[in-house]
Amino acid sequence: MDEGYTTTDGRKIGGVVMEMKNITLRFGGVVAIKDISFDIREGEIRAIIGPNGAGKSSMLNVMSGFYVPQEGEVWFHGKPRPQMKPYQVAQQGIARTFQNIALFEGMSVLDNVMTGRLTQMKSGLFAQAIWKGKAEAEETENREFAEKIIDFLEIQAIRKTPVARLPYGLKKRVELARALAAEPKLLLLDEPMAGMNVEEKEDMSRFILDVNDEFGTTIALIEHDMGVVMDLSDRVVVMDYGQKIGDGTPDDIRNNQAVIDAYLGVSHD
Amino acid sequence: MSDQFLFGIEVVINGLMAGVLYALVALGFVLIYKASGIFNYAQGVMALFAAMTLVGVMNGQVPFAHLINSILGTDVHHFGWHIPAVIAILMTMAVMILLAWAVQQLVMRHLVNQEPIILFMATIGLAYFLEGFSDLMWGSEIKKLDVGLPQGGSFWIEEMTAGLGGEGFYGFFIDRLDIVATVIAILLVVALMLFSNYTKEGRALRAVADDHQAALSVGVSLNFIWVLVWSVAGFVALVAGIMWGTKSGVQFSLSLIALKALPVLMLGGFTSIPGAIVGGLIIGVGEKLFEFLLGPALGGATENWFAYVLALVFLVFRPQGLFGDKIIERV
Amino acid sequence: MFYREAGDFSTTYPEDSQTFPIKFDRYRYYVVLAFAFLVVPFIINDYWANAILLPFLIYAIAAIGLNILTGYCGQVSLGTGGFMAVGAYSCYKFMTAFPDLSMFINVLLAGVVTAAVGVLFGLPSLRIKGFYLAVATLAAQFFLVWLFNRVPWFYNYSASGQINAPERTVLGVAVTGPNTSAWAAYLFCLVFCVASAIVARNLTRGSIGRKWMAIRDMDIAAEIIGVNPMKAKLTAFAISSFFVGISGALFFALYLGAVEVGEAFSIQKSFLILFMVIIGGLGSIFGSFAGAAFLVVLPVAMKIVGADMLGMPTDIVAHLQLVVVGALIIVFLILEPHGIAQLWRLAKEKLRLWPFPH
């Protein structure tokens, strides 16, 4: 196994963080993902693209442990990941956002971001019931971290606002904040720019690059918008009808005939 | 055949009959839930209200007599007439439609788009209101309801089956009212199915059940459909009220049959009419058999909880209920 | 005018996350507490204790308990009456089995037992959701009431099938039995009530509370960001039942003194507590108090107005009560689905800007 590479803009990419090995996922008779393998390296921005119904979201759900593939293995940090519950996957350091925003609507922005810290907060029931002392100290410590993320994503002004009152673009940003608050080793973004206007897309792209730059977070993202993906990512996986039809740097992908066919709609078979 | 076994069969048959009545109440729940997503806790009280209204109309009781007397110091009780059962039933149905309209206009219309749990709470409020209201209107004493349905054990069946067992067996005891109830329940289900499959209103109703907004966009009046649904539920409540009222008198405990219908719903699913029927039968037979076999050893009255525990255990192993599809969760 | 937060800055995170971040609220809270502990015990009489104060405090504890489960964790329970019965009967068993134990310990132990039973009946919540769960909790209600009715061990084989609270003391002062004075019972309940409220507040503002609310708002997302749904739900059931159990124990031992389970802890009780939570406000500790106060005072007020002032027969007043409570619930749900607590928040918001609303 090689030891990474250096990107065109000079960032050093490390070893493999997560590797998908021959993943096949079926729902009843429908094959959502068919025998797909690829890897994600430390510090890189990895994109998964493909037309509607290609199985991208299913792939992300396999990575985050929400779906269990019928065949194949997910390797994380050089070991095959045993079958585990989604919350255990999260505790291993994988955080994600959702295509249809999945914020906790009944809570404030701050509380939502603080839920990202839940995997780090360990004080027990009695400590919390008494509050003064251990629980309060822990709360303060994690609040400081959460505030750092809030500053970073420039959502200070709305921290006490109930999430339900926010516009779409801000909700997406709060969701990113919640995922970042978990200090993830691997961050999965499910269509982070879906439904945004150009300005919001630019903001979001900037945040994604900043996150990668500032915290060195490894990021895997799914996206529709080819233009954005090509600018953002270091390497791209292309999926179509549950199969991998391309994998490589954005330049490779641009010249890949199978990818061009899939996007321009050449008839299959 | 041993006598014990024959008693067991009798228990099963009576359980089936009771199950039909549970299914009847459950049906009222399913109708409203399917069409509007409202879990109508007031269904049982609606049955009580219908039965009380029916008795009151038949006997020519003056509504709110007690209240009027206590405020005005008068002494009115009855109009002094008796109305034939058929006409009284029609008049009661008119009252139930009025109730459906009032519920829609005064309550549900203002709660559109609220969370299901809020709607559920509102129907509990409605149940309280209606309970107090019917007591105020007709008085809270136990009343006898007789619309001319046959009652008492069927001697014919008893004599026919007496020969099956030995000395201690006198034949199956089956209440004729239960037989009538079964027939009526079957007719009702068939009528409802025909209504929802072959009439314009029925189609509109199913459209609303599938998707409110889509139905709205093709020109179905939600308001009308919901009044319709509550009216049909009122009709089902009236039928259930007549059956249970004839069987054990019209009194507050009648509204508790709603509680009996809830495990039926859990078992059969909140949206399935066949589920309500099969669930009702399973619960009816199950609780009677359980009481028959294990009741004496456990201290009796296990009917109070058996249905719930059965439904609970069942759901833990099959959360989608009897007829539901496997639940696939998405994000 | 006087209700202001301008100039009232939080400079540390603990200050920002305290229960009453606004000075005025904080002072009012201290005044209410001082009044409840230092003034009321001296002016209380039997009528006030039994008609208003004891039921208010006891129901408030139950409402806090149910609010944790339903308002914070989103699991609707219709079994509160059954769990109160567990509290009452386990308290009774402890009282009779260990006569020398302080009543304090008895009540706490009753809470612990109820918590365990709550966890047991909470297990189905891992598989069953929404209305199905609500109906499933009725299984607890009916089964528990049946159990206490039919198994003589629970009522110590008494001929009447009732349980009666013998005299028990705290620090030498009788708090149960016929020789209890109103102030002692009141103070005993008040201590439990205030402690419950503080503990509930602490739990709901920290990480456990956020886990509960995450499960409530979107359980799948909660699991994916790292909340163990089983642990979160079962702790909610445990904590909730603990409070409900304490409330049941107090209801039996201090308020009623003698209990017949089918009457005192029927499904009507489950609904009553649920109404308190709804009318008061789901997901609000203050709302639990407001709801309890409202539904305790309402029947008393109606009785005074209807029966004593207007001279109506009591059965008519009772029926009217049902009508009014039912109608009020509907009206509340239509006007303000988030209950009195939300009205209170809105009022404060207005007050904060008064007299210049822009």
Is C225 touching B (CB cutoff 8 A)? Answer: no
- Per residue in A93-130, pLDDT (tens digit) is 999 999 888 999 989 999 999 999 998 888 888 889 88
B248 Cβ contact list (under 8 Å, min separation 6):
B254
DSSP lists the bridge partners of residue B78 as B61
Mean pLDDT, range C318-325, rounded to an integer: 88
Position C108 in a domain: yes
Enter the DSSP assignment of A19.
E
Sequence-distant contacts of A12-17: CB under 8 A, at least 24 apart: A12/A43, A13/A41, A13/A42, A13/A43, A13/A44, A13/A234, A14/A41, A14/A42, A14/A43, A15/A41, A15/A42, A16/A40, A16/A41, A16/A42, A16/A75, A16/A78, A17/A41, A17/A42, A17/A76, A17/A77, A17/A185, A17/A186, A17/A218
Q: How much is the pLDDT for B22?
A: 84
Rounded CA gap, C152 and C149, in Å?
A: 7
For residue B331, list chain A residues with Cβ-Cβ distance below 8 A.
61, 66, 98-100, 102
What six digits make up the tokens of B84? 């034939």
**pTM for the complete prediction?**
0.90
Cβ(A16)–Cβ(A61) below 8 Å: no
- Give me the DSSP letters along C240-293: HHHHHHHHHHHIIIIIISEE-HHHHTSHHHHHHHHHHHHHH-TT-HHHHHHHHH
Domain boundaries, chain B: 3-252
Which chains contact C through at least 3 pairs of Cβ atoms less than 8 Å apart? A, B
Which chain A positions have a beta carbon within 8 Å of C227's beta carbon?
87, 115, 118
Which of C319, C331, C342 best tests the B interface by mutation, with the highest count of B CBs <10 A?
Answer: C319
In this prediction, residues C41-69 reach a mean pLDDT of: 93
pLDDT at A158: 92
At residue C221, the 3 state secondary structure works out as: helix
Distance in angstroms (rounded) separating the CA atoms of residues C213 and B53: 45
Instruction: Spell out which residues of chain C touch residue B309, defining contact as CB-CB under 8 Å.
Output: 139, 143
A97 interaction partners in chain C (CB closer than 8 Å) = none
Total domains, chain C: 1
The whole-angstrom separation of Cα B85 and Cα C320 is 30
Amino acid at C352: R
Lookup result for tokens 């109708």: B31
Distance CA C16, CA B139 (A): 57
pLDDT at C357: 67
Residues 6+ apart with CB under 8 A from C54: C185, C186, C189, C254, C255
Is C11 near chain A, with CB under 8 Å? no
For residue A99, the chain B residues in CB contact (below 8 A) are 331
Compare all CA atoms of chain B with the CA of A190 and give the residue at the minimum distance: B331
The contacts of residue A90 (CB under 8 Å, 6+ apart) are A64, A65, A119, A182, C224, C225, C226
Q: What are phi and psi of A25, to 5 degrees?
A: -130, 130
Cβ neighbourhood burial of B275 (10 Å; 0-12, 13-18, 19+): buried
Pick the residue of C67, C207, C231 with the most A CBs within 10 A to test the interface with A by mutation.
C207
- Predicted local distance difference test score (pLDDT) of residue C250: 96
| C123 → chain B, closest CA residue | B316
Strand A243-248: give its sheet, edge to edge: A94-96, A186-190, A218-222, A45-49, A235-240, A243-248
Distance (Å, rounded) from C-alpha C344 to C-alpha B230? 35
CA torsion angle for B49, B55, B59, B63 (degrees, to 10)? -10
Residue type, B182: T
- pLDDT tens digits, residue range A153-182? 999 999 889 999 999 989 999 999 999 999
Residues of chain B scoring pLDDT < 70:
1, 154, 161-171, 324-331
**Considering only CB atoms, which residues of chain B are within 8 Å of chain A?**
328, 331
Q: What is the pLDDT of residue B63?
A: 84
Pick from A178, A182, A185, A177: nearest CA to A119: A182
DSSP tag of B216: H
User: Are the Cβ atoms of B331 and A98 closer than 8 angstroms?
Assistant: yes
Band (C183; pLDDT cuts 50, 70, 90): very high
For residue C246, tell me if it sits in a domain.
Answer: yes
Q: What residues make up the domain containing C50? A: 44-263
Residue C340 domain flag: no
Residue A1: the pLDDT is 47
C322 chain-B contacts, CB cut-off 8 A: 128-129, 131-133, 135
Interface-testing mutation among A67, A96, A107, with chain C (most C C-beta atoms within 10 A): A107
Q: Which of C206, C210, C223 faces A87 most closely, judged by CB atoms?
A: C223
pLDDT higher than threshold 70 for residue C241:
yes
CA-angle at B325, arms to A90 and C125, nearest 5°: 50
Interface test with C, best of B126, B128, B137, B323 (most C CBs within 10 A): B128
Query: Are A87 and C227 an interchain contact pair (Cβ–Cβ within 8 Å)?
Result: yes
**What's the gap in Å between the CA of B317 and the closest CA on chain A?**
19
Q: How far is CA A182 from CA A11, A24, A53, A86, A106, in A?
A: 24, 29, 30, 15, 20
Count contacts between A and C (CB, < 8 Å).
109
On the question of pLDDT at C240 being above 90, the answer is yes
Q: Which residue of C has its CA nearest to B139?
A: C316
| Nearest residue in chain B measured CA to CA from C127 | B316
C136 falls within a domain: yes
Residue predicted with more confidence, C250 or B26: C250
Residue C328 lies in a domain: no
Neighbours of A156 (CB within 10 A): 10
Q: pLDDT value at position B163?
A: 66
Predicted confidence (pLDDT) per residue in B251-283, tens digit: 877 777 778 888 888 888 887 788 888 888 899
- B-chain residues near A27 (CB < 8 A): 328
Nearest chain B residue to C124 by CA distance is B316
**Chain C: residue nearest B70 by CA?**
C312
Across the interface, do A114 and C210 touch by the CB < 8 Å criterion? yes
A137, closest residue in chain C (CA to CA): C14
8-state DSSP, A11: P
Residue C127 touches partner B, C-beta closer than 8 Å: yes
d(CA B88, CA A234) in angstroms, rounded, equals 80
Collect all residues of chain B within an 8 Å Cβ-Cβ radius of residue C146. Answer: 301-302, 304-305
**C165 to chain A, closest Cα gap in Å:** 30
Q: What is the pLDDT of residue B243?
A: 85
Q: What b/e string do you get for B285-297 counting C-beta neighbours within 10 Å, with b at 16 or more? A: bbbbbbbbeebee
In chain A, which residues touch C (CB < 8 A)? 64-66, 85-87, 89-91, 95-96, 98, 102-107, 111, 114-119, 121, 123, 125, 128-131, 135-136, 138-140, 143-144, 147, 178-179, 182
Say yes or no to pLDDT of C69 above 80.
yes
Please give the domain boundaries of chain A with CATH numbers for all domains. Answer: 5-93+184-264 (3.40.50.300), 109-177 (no CATH)
Q: Which ipTM value was assigned to this complex?
A: 0.90
Residues C192-221, mean pLDDT to the nearest whole number: 94
pLDDT in tens, A214-243: 888 999 999 877 788 888 899 999 998 889
Q: Which chain B positions have a beta carbon within 8 Å of C75's beta carbon?
A: none
Mean pLDDT (chain C) is 89
Q: How many whole angstroms separate alpha carbon C49 and alpha carbon C68?
A: 27
pLDDT for C116: 97
CB A133 within 8 A of CB A127: yes
Residue C298: inside a domain: no
Q: Enumerate residues 241 to 280 of chain C having a beta carbon within 8 A of any beta carbon in chain B.
A: 267, 271, 274-275, 278
| Average confidence score pLDDT of chain A | 89
Mean pLDDT of C307-312: 80
Residue A267 has pLDDT above 90, yes or no: no
pLDDT in tens, C268-294: 899 999 989 988 988 899 999 999 999
Whether pLDDT at C24 is above 60: yes
The amino acid at residue A112 is: N
Q: Do B331 and A27 touch (CB under 8 A)?
A: no
C129 falls within a domain: yes
- With CB atoms and an 8 Å threshold, state whether B111 touches C271: no
Residue C81 binned pLDDT confidence (cut-offs 50, 70, 90): very high
| Three-state SS at A43 | coil
